[in-house]
Structure 1
Amino acid sequence: MVSKQLTSIQIGRGIAILMVLLVHVSAVTRSFTPSVDWTFFAFGSAGVDLFFVISGFIICIVAEKRESKSSVFLVRRFLRIYPLYAAFTVLWFIMSHAVGRGETDFIFLAKSLAIIPQEPMPYLFVGWSLEHEVIFYGMVALLLYAGRQNWLLPTLVAVWMIALLNWVGLPVLGHEPKWDYHLFSLYQIDFALGVLIYRFRHRIDFSLWPVTLTIGLAAFPIITVMLARFYPDGHLPTQGQGVAGLVRVVLFCAASTLVVASLISAETRGGLRSRIALLLGQIGNASFSLYLMHHLIFAVVAVACLRAALPSALAAPAAIVAILTAICLSLIFYRWVEKPFHDWSSGRARRRAP
């Protein structure tokens, strides 16, 4: 049953957001003099790939079981992501101006607030992944409106094939890719694999799930080392292109798919009952809040470390403190703000559904 697989998905979200924290906490380690190299944790950028695979899985549940109408689907998706995203974007705007580094391009700020896909990173930079999510939601809504939900997987595959021509083919031929508002993004394969997992969820049963889960998780840093050939500075771009971009997306997608499938198998076999699994599930519940707020928290810690002129020996402890602080605050925020608002908005959407 799908309902029995939601715990595994929340644990997957917990793993994904912890990976993101590991790579983004470099904002803290760079505030030391000399700055501390944190590139080993560059594999954390694959946390977004894991999020996208999970999103493909979850949206199938949302669209198939509860929200058969496109209008209701869009309203619920809007209420799920936009209010919090807008609130944290405004908060980041206020914080930035408080230290004299605020954005003065208000058209750019308006586009960022509207989650309009754009070539530069949005004002609250983690919003770049939400831009991809919005495009994915738009595809799902159109298919729901047309009564063709079952076309989602082939549609995503077709869109990804076009993405190959634009983001891989053109660079290989020496041309710049055309800006496509993320419609033809290489990340579409992540959503497609999430949909595929959902389609075969009842057949996924790895008896050796601890082994496959370990392999999937270990693959992230191993792949990152392999990608050093393409990205010697250790930075993995969010919008890769050419052969390097293709290798990055495909390998991280494969690892993410194995992780999700292993977690589903683990739950089916009753293997997710440890305290660590419970903690990861709780973090997964608060993952959206944590994803939005961690950048602000890391920025505050980084400024504090910079002004205190702390020695580099304290960089790792400061990074750990920043991560733990972000997790604790997000759990509190989820308990008292995000979850109550989500329950309230879902109830209103349900009552207004035709």
Structure 2
Amino acid sequence: MPTLYSIQYLRAFAAIAVVIFHAAHRMGLPFTIGAAGVDIFFVVSGFIMMAISDSRPASPASFFRNRLLRIAPTYWIATVVMVLGAILGLFPNLKLDPAHIAGSFLFIPVASPNSGNLWPVLVQGWTLNYEIFFYAVFALVLFLKPALRLSALALLFSLLVVGGALLRPENPLAGFYTAPVILEFVAGAAIAKIWQAGRLPSPWIGLLLVCLSIAGFATIHLMRFEFDAWTCGPLAIMLVAGALAIEVHGKLPKFPALTYLGDSSYSIYLWHTFAISVVAAIGTALSLSVPAIALAAVIVGTIAGIAAYECLERPIQLLLKGKRSALWRLPLRNQAGRTPAQ
């Protein structure tokens, strides 16, 4: 499966949106729409899983193992840093609980002793609980013929969402796994099927979809509307489908820097909050302006994620594949043939 630049760009934009969201939130600035980067990630994840499974057939066990090895090692390291930091007093507001820590490592949603929310020790890891759930379900549908997989996935996730809407379960765990956001994975998988069949719209329709999506996100932000999966999900779907439509018709320019940010987006997502906390503390101590601190936090948070990608994520992934890697190579030119796996 060749590199899809549209997917790489979207991963980069989604990661940076989340970084801006957390930096702005830390400094009391309004940019909650940045959290919608998660919706883009989920649609992209569904697309990648379906596209990979169709192009590189694998057994259910092999598929799940590969996906777990792709996301777990770096996340576990970040979680260990959080736990050790709390023990050493570096994170005085972080309360530790054995069940919560275990749930964080096992990708099981457990109520946080800090807030009561189903957040792991590393808060942004809540999205990975959904990712692992999706991988597990997707692994099961791999037992079916390729032509039936999307229908089975859509049926199961739709039943979960409908059941959650009708029954309104009081159990937080049941509510977590019946939330409408899981349909974004299905939408991404459906886009993959459309892409494989060569049925994406023209590049001009694709451009229109991208513009409408961006306008929708901007409207939510500027008007300060409340948003959830029902509003941001369709916008993320339009964005992914539109960007792919532009690329398949040869109308998407290549930006090596954005491609590289797409490569490092997972590490940026995991590690940026550490840097934001440090920058916010230093900036406040120096009495810098709030916008200046937020901007510095975004820049340093992104750089910290890139450093984590080069020093941790990439070497670990190459090691798992039996390869070796030099550190700090900042590959700003594309390496053809790489699969843009999240």
**What is the TM-score of this pair, normalised by structure 2?**
0.83
- The alpha-carbon deviation at position 344 of structure 1 amounts to 2.9
Contact 2:191 2:241 in 1 (8 A): yes
Identify the range of structure 1 (47-56 vs 152-161) with the bigger mean alpha-carbon deviation.
152-161
Alpha carbons of structure 1 residues 319 and 67: separation in structure 2 relative to 1, 3 Å: farther
Asked if 1:115 corresponds to 2:97, the answer is: no
Query: Secondary structure of the residue that 2:136 maps to in structure 1?
Result: helix
Contact 2:47 2:188 in 1 (8 A): yes
- Structure 2 match to 1:286: 264
Deviations, residues 277-299 of structure 1 (Å, cap 9, x unaligned): 43322111101000100111111
Counterpart code for 2:295 = I
Query: Secondary structure of the residue that 1:318 maps to in structure 2?
Result: helix
Asked if 1:90 corresponds to 2:80, the answer is: yes
- Structure 2 match to 1:28: 26
- Structure 2 match to 1:33: none
Partners of 2:26 and 2:170 in 1: CA distance:
34
User: Of 136, 139, 163, which aligns to 1:138?
Assistant: 136
Unaligned runs of 5+ in 2: 112-117, 324-342
Query: Secondary structure of the residue that 2:2 maps to in structure 1?
Result: helix
- The alpha-carbon deviation at position 343 of structure 1 amounts to 2.6
Contact 1:52 1:190 in 2 (8 A): yes
Contact 1:212 1:258 in 2 (8 A): yes
- The alpha-carbon deviation at position 224 of structure 1 amounts to 4.8
- Structure 2 match to 1:310: 287
Counterpart code for 2:189 = V
Alpha carbons of structure 1 residues 67 and 345: separation in structure 2 relative to 1, 3 Å: farther
**Percent of pairs identical after alignment?**
26
The root-mean-square deviation of aligned C-alpha atoms, in Å, is 2.4
Asked if 1:299 corresponds to 2:277, the answer is: yes
Alpha carbons of structure 1 residues 78 and 164: separation in structure 2 relative to 1, 3 Å: closer
- The alpha-carbon deviation at position 147 of structure 1 amounts to 3.3
Alpha carbons of structure 1 residues 220 and 347: separation in structure 2 relative to 1, 3 Å: farther
Partners of 1:279 and 1:325 in 2: CA distance:
17
Query: Secondary structure of the residue that 1:72 maps to in structure 2?
Result: helix
Counterpart code for 1:59 = M
Partners of 1:213 and 1:26 in 2: CA distance:
25
Alpha carbons of structure 1 residues 27 and 219: separation in structure 2 relative to 1, 3 Å: closer
Contact 2:158 2:183 in 1 (8 A): no
Identify the range of structure 1 (292-301 vs 92-101) with the bigger mean alpha-carbon deviation.
92-101
Unaligned runs of 5+ in 1: 30-35, 237-247, 349-354
Partners of 1:116 and 1:227 in 2: CA distance:
32
- The alpha-carbon deviation at position 138 of structure 1 amounts to 0.3
Partners of 1:225 and 1:109 in 2: CA distance:
38
Counterpart code for 1:64 = D
Deviations, residues 200-244 of structure 1 (Å, cap 9, x unaligned): 11211433243432221221132356673xx4xxxx6xxxxxxxx
User: Of 134, 156, 159, which aligns to 1:159?
Assistant: 156
Contact 1:205 1:268 in 2 (8 A): no
Contact 2:280 2:294 in 1 (8 A): no
Identify the range of structure 1 (19-28 vs 133-142) with the bigger mean alpha-carbon deviation.
19-28
- The alpha-carbon deviation at position 20 of structure 1 amounts to 0.9
Counterpart code for 1:207 = P
- Structure 2 match to 1:69: 59
Identify the range of structure 1 (217-226 vs 115-124) with the bigger mean alpha-carbon deviation.
217-226
Alpha carbons of structure 1 residues 90 and 270: separation in structure 2 relative to 1, 3 Å: same
- The alpha-carbon deviation at position 272 of structure 1 amounts to 2.9
Asked if 1:264 corresponds to 2:260, the answer is: no
Alpha carbons of structure 1 residues 302 and 122: separation in structure 2 relative to 1, 3 Å: same
Alpha carbons of structure 1 residues 105 and 160: separation in structure 2 relative to 1, 3 Å: same
Alpha carbons of structure 1 residues 194 and 272: separation in structure 2 relative to 1, 3 Å: same
Partners of 1:166 and 1:298 in 2: CA distance:
39
- Structure 1 match to 2:303: 328
Query: Secondary structure of the residue that 1:123 maps to in structure 2?
Result: coil
- The alpha-carbon deviation at position 305 of structure 1 amounts to 3.0
Contact 2:78 2:270 in 1 (8 A): yes
Partners of 1:227 and 1:316 in 2: CA distance:
19
Report which structure shows greater RCO (CA 8 Å, sep ≥6): 1
